[in-house]
Amino acid sequence: MARLNEQQRRLALVLAAALALIATVAVTLLAGGGSSGREDAAAKKPGAGPRPGGGQHARPPAATVKPVPEDIAHATESGGRAVNITIDDGPDPTWTPQVLEVLDEHGVKATFCMIGPQAKAHPDLVKRVVGAGHRLCNHTVGHDVTMDRKPVAYQERQILDSLKMIEEASDGAEVPYYRAPGGAFTPDSRRIAAAHGMRPLGWNVDTKDFELPGSDRIVRTVKAELANGPTILFHDGGGQRGQTVAALRQVLPWLKERGYGFSFPEIRPS
Q: pLDDT, tens digit, for every residue of 118-176? A: 999 999 999 999 999 999 999 999 999 999 999 999 999 999 999 999 999 999 999 99
Q: Which amino acid is at 158?
A: Q
Arithmetic mean of pLDDT, 47-52 = 31
Total residues found in the chain within this entry: 270
Q: Is the pLDDT of residue 187 over 80?
A: yes
Asked if 139 and 89 count as a contact pair (C-beta separation under 8 A), the reply is yes
Arithmetic mean of pLDDT, 176-204 = 98
H helix or E strand, kind and range, residue 136? strand 135-138
Per-residue pLDDT at 270: 74
Asked if 74 and 225 count as a contact pair (C-beta separation under 8 A), the reply is no
* Interior/surface letters 58-80, b for 16+ CB within 10 angstroms, e for the rest: ebeebeebebbebebbbbbebee
Q: Across the chain, how many H-helices and E-strands are there?
A: 8, 8
Confidence of residue 106 (pLDDT cuts 50, 70, 90): very high
Per-residue pLDDT at 65: 83
Q: Out of 27-36, 89-98, 210-219, which region has the weakest mean confidence (pLDDT)?
A: 27-36
Q: Is the pLDDT of residue 51 over 80?
A: no
Q: Out of 5-19, 120-134, 201-215, which region has the weakest mean confidence (pLDDT)?
A: 5-19
Asked if 145 and 184 count as a contact pair (C-beta separation under 8 A), the reply is yes
Q: Higher pLDDT residue, 28 or 185?
A: 185
Asked if 134 and 173 count as a contact pair (C-beta separation under 8 A), the reply is no
Per-residue pLDDT at 127: 98
Instruction: Give every CB contact of residue 12 below 8 A, 6+ residues apart in sequence.
Output: none
Active site residues: 88, 235
Burial of 260 by CB count in 10 Å (0-12 exposed, 13-18 middle, 19+ buried)? middle
* Gap between the Cα atoms of 249 and 247, Å rounded: 5
Per-residue pLDDT at 269: 85
Phi, psi of 215, deg, nearest 5: -65, -35
Per-residue pLDDT at 102: 98
Confidence of residue 52 (pLDDT cuts 50, 70, 90): very low
In sequence order, the β-bridge partners of residue 50 are none
* Gap between the Cα atoms of 119 and 163, Å rounded: 10
Among candidate residues 179, 136, 176, the one with its CA nearest the CA of residue 158: 179
Among candidate residues 92, 73, 35, the one with its CA nearest the CA of residue 210: 92
Per-residue pLDDT at 66: 86
Confidence of residue 28 (pLDDT cuts 50, 70, 90): very low
* Each residue's pLDDT tens digit, 232-266: 999 999 999 999 999 999 999 999 999 999 999 99
Mean pLDDT of the chain: 84
Q: Is the pLDDT of residue 40 over 50?
A: no
